[in-house]
Structure 1
Amino acid sequence: MVSLPTHSNGIDVSLEELLIYRGPAARNNPFKGLPRTSHRAGQNLSRIKGRGMEFDEVRRYQSGDDVRTIDWRVTARTGHAHTKLFREERERPVLLFVDLGNRLHCGSALLLQSVQACHLAAMLGWQSINAGERLGGIICREGGHREHKPRARRQGIAPLLDSLVELHRAEQQSEPQYLDTGLNRLRRLAHPGSVVLVISDGLGFNDHHLDILAEMARHSEIRLFQITDPLSKRLAQLNADAVLPVWYQGKLTTLNHTGRQQWLQQLEQEQQHFVQGSRQRGLARSQVDAAIPLTEQLETLWHPIR
């Protein structure tokens, strides 16, 4: 029998259970072991997209310099070819986008999907600051958003963990457009060269949401972590007379057997749309099962699903 993670009851989220992931994050860290791109950026997931540099100074052109960096204004003014010099970016922020929407407050096995989303956010947060990265992000759900600008060390992780606990405990409200608000805030927060880690079940994402992520992927590293549940994947069965409370058609409701089948059909359609949409846009996607402790999924956490 699978045991609950330490300090977790599978339904609520506490700061104590999120602090536990500091240990596993130190032992298993995908941010480490890769080349550094600058003195302070830490070890990144992959090479920086875009220029990844900032202007430093202008000097006389030398043989071998890239002609694309010639400063034509200085060249025209002095009569001698000059080239621009750039230095590497000092920092590369890691941004978490955590979707704690009402529909994730459901689970047929070990944890609610929303609880697993918080656990994953804590793990990725600890991993990033342990590697010397700056950490920030957006945590959102109906009726509430928390924005954290990237900061180093404890100033980056502490407020983010507090917001996870706070928003997970918040009263359920109706706000169909909360993902629009959250992703627009994320787009403004993500500067070129950022690492953006999206945690969600993905089932509330429409084409517009995926287009926003695809646009950001032109200048940032994007990874989708999809939280799944055995029932929504039809890997678990309930008795015909069993009832299941779920967030369905904009409200919390208890479904009988017929209603549950309709709900599952809708989930399958949304799942297919998210998978195909992310694949068409070249967005890397991993899956995290809410029925398995996160510490038992570390080996496959970063494996992309095709």
Structure 2
Amino acid sequence: MWSVTTSSASRWPPRNTGVARVLLQDLLGLEGPGVELAQRRAGVRELGERRSQRLRARGLTYAESRPYQVGDDARSIDWRVTARSARTHTKLFEEEREQPVWLCVDLRQTMHFGTRAAFKSVHAAHVAALLAWSAMAAGDRIGCLAWTPNGITALPPRRGRPALLAALGLLARAGLEALATPAPESTGRIRATASALLESAGSRAQIYVLSDFVAFDEVAFTELTALGRRHRLAMLQVIDPFEEAPPALNGAWAIDDGGQPMRFDARTMSGRADSPVRLGERLAGVAARTGGHHCSARTTESPAAVAARLLGAAGRPGNR
């Protein structure tokens, strides 16, 4: 497993910045570690070599069909065109030269929680920013989808620095808006998010979903599975250590974020259907059925290390 070196920009938790808010200057400061991720992923320092290796590894995509010629591989016959034209046709393929990268970041209310290092929303945004910087350095198009209690905002994939800056700006704005206007969770909105991504992603994209996956119901997981069958899917489950090991105390607890008091019973947290362990099992099942990847990360883990894991998994042959 390759990794990145620690730099001032990739220190975690962030210093003298908001650990409870997604700040644009923090995301912009991750350029160095993000570019380093792209270089180390390829095992080279020159991005020109990176581009060459990436092209050879991407495989083939359908280009067109033409009339069958002697010597053509029978396995490449286009049976639909053949049936329509009453003449045998062969499919032609070309090297797939780029693959859009979609960053789908959960900024719902459950993500605005943290007892160690930073809020889950901040951790997810930092990982997403590193993935975005890495994608830009590799020459990939970058698309971004942020979902909050207020709705869904998506930016279609584009190439270059302007696209990256737009994606980071979206994450920062959406994070602040979600904090300012909290709303109850909606499973319908979660389903709508998965459906919107399924429709927006087009064909054959690398999709990263960064979330705690709390409040995902059966329909939402079905949509996630459909997404994984059409695209290369990597799911990051962000966990606060408190959620894994709640205090062994009796009775109800009350916590307050400065405006939204909440009560819970610590004795029942580990047995809930949306506990990190049970959600992790569901996500592992999605990954197994689709050839995708699932990993979990605590908010105490360095976002650079987590991004390296995701990129390493996305590049493995098992992840289509």
TM-score after normalising by structure 1? 0.79
Q: Partner residue of 1:23? A: 32
Determine helix, strand or coil for the equivalent of 2:90.
Answer: strand
Contact 1:10 1:111 in 2 (8 A): yes
Matches within 5 A, 1:183-262: 183-234=194-245, 243-245=254-256, 252-255=260-263, 259-261=264-266
Kindly tell me: are residues 133 and 298 of structure 1, through their superposed partners in 2, closer, same or farther at Cα, counting changes over 3 Å? closer
Structure 1: gaps of 5 or more residues:
none
Matches within 5 A, 1:288-299: 288-297=297-306
Match of 1:264 among 263, 269, 274: 269
Give the Cα separation in 2 of the matches to 1:226 and 1:40: 30
| Structure 2 residue 130 is the aligned partner of structure 1 residue 123 | yes
Match of 1:61 among 66, 69, 74: 69
More displaced 10-residue stretch of structure 1: 146-155 or 173-182: 173-182
Contact 1:5 1:293 in 2 (8 A): no
Identity %, equivalent residues: 22
Give the Cα separation in 1 of the matches to 2:29 and 2:124: 15
Q: How far 1:98 sits from its partner (Å)?
A: 0.7
Give the Cα separation in 1 of the matches to 2:12 and 2:281: 34
Give the Cα separation in 2 of the matches to 1:260 and 1:184: 33
Q: How far 1:6 sits from its partner (Å)?
A: 4.7
Q: How far 1:87 sits from its partner (Å)?
A: 2.5
Deviations for 1:171-190, whole angstroms, at most 9, x for unmatched residues? 21235132122111101012
Q: How far 1:269 sits from its partner (Å)?
A: 4.3
Kindly tell me: are residues 3 and 124 of structure 1, through their superposed partners in 2, closer, same or farther at Cα, counting changes over 3 Å? closer
Matches within 5 A, 1:1-306: 4-6=13-15, 8-29=17-38, 32-33=41-42, 43=54, 52-55=61-64, 58-70=66-78, 72=82, 76=86, 82-170=89-177, 171-176=181-186, 177-234=188-245, 243-245=254-256, 252-255=260-263, 259-261=264-266, 264-265=269-270, 269-281=274-286, 282=288, 283-297=292-306, 300-301=309-310
CA RMSD, Structure 1 to Structure 2 (Å): 3.5
Determine helix, strand or coil for the equivalent of 1:232.
Answer: helix
Kindly tell me: are residues 148 and 7 of structure 1, through their superposed partners in 2, closer, same or farther at Cα, counting changes over 3 Å? farther
Q: How far 1:288 sits from its partner (Å)?
A: 2.0
Q: How far 1:118 sits from its partner (Å)?
A: 0.9
Give the Cα separation in 1 of the matches to 2:63 and 2:310: 33
Counterpart AA for 2:66? V
Deviations for 1:232-288, whole angstroms, at most 9, x for unmatched residues? 0117789999852379xxx93243xxx341562465644343222222232421122
The structure with more helix, counted as a fraction of residues: 2
Kindly tell me: are residues 30 and 113 of structure 1, through their superposed partners in 2, closer, same or farther at Cα, counting changes over 3 Å? farther
Counterpart AA for 2:149? E
Kindly tell me: are residues 85 and 17 of structure 1, through their superposed partners in 2, closer, same or farther at Cα, counting changes over 3 Å? same
Give the Cα separation in 1 of the matches to 2:249 and 2:52: 49
Give the Cα separation in 2 of the matches to 1:148 and 1:3: 28
Give the Cα separation in 1 of the matches to 2:233 and 2:20: 29
Determine helix, strand or coil for the equivalent of 1:191.
Answer: coil
Determine helix, strand or coil for the equivalent of 1:231.
Answer: helix
Structure 2: gaps of 5 or more residues:
1-10, 44-49, 314-320
Give the Cα separation in 2 of the matches to 1:187 and 1:151: 17
Give the Cα separation in 2 of the matches to 1:115 and 1:61: 57
Kindly tell me: are residues 236 and 126 of structure 1, through their superposed partners in 2, closer, same or farther at Cα, counting changes over 3 Å? farther
Contact 1:195 1:222 in 2 (8 A): yes
TM-score after normalising by structure 2? 0.76
Give the Cα separation in 1 of the matches to 2:303 and 2:283: 23
Counterpart AA for 1:145? I
Counterpart AA for 1:202? F
Q: How far 1:31 sits from its partner (Å)?
A: 8.6
More displaced 10-residue stretch of structure 1: 2-11 or 95-104: 2-11
Give the Cα separation in 1 of the matches to 2:154 and 2:265: 35
Give the Cα separation in 1 of the matches to 2:31 and 2:137: 9
Kindly tell me: are residues 72 and 292 of structure 1, through their superposed partners in 2, closer, same or farther at Cα, counting changes over 3 Å? closer
Give the Cα separation in 2 of the matches to 1:143 and 1:288: 26
Kindly tell me: are residues 202 and 41 of structure 1, through their superposed partners in 2, closer, same or farther at Cα, counting changes over 3 Å? farther
Q: Partner residue of 2:318? A: none
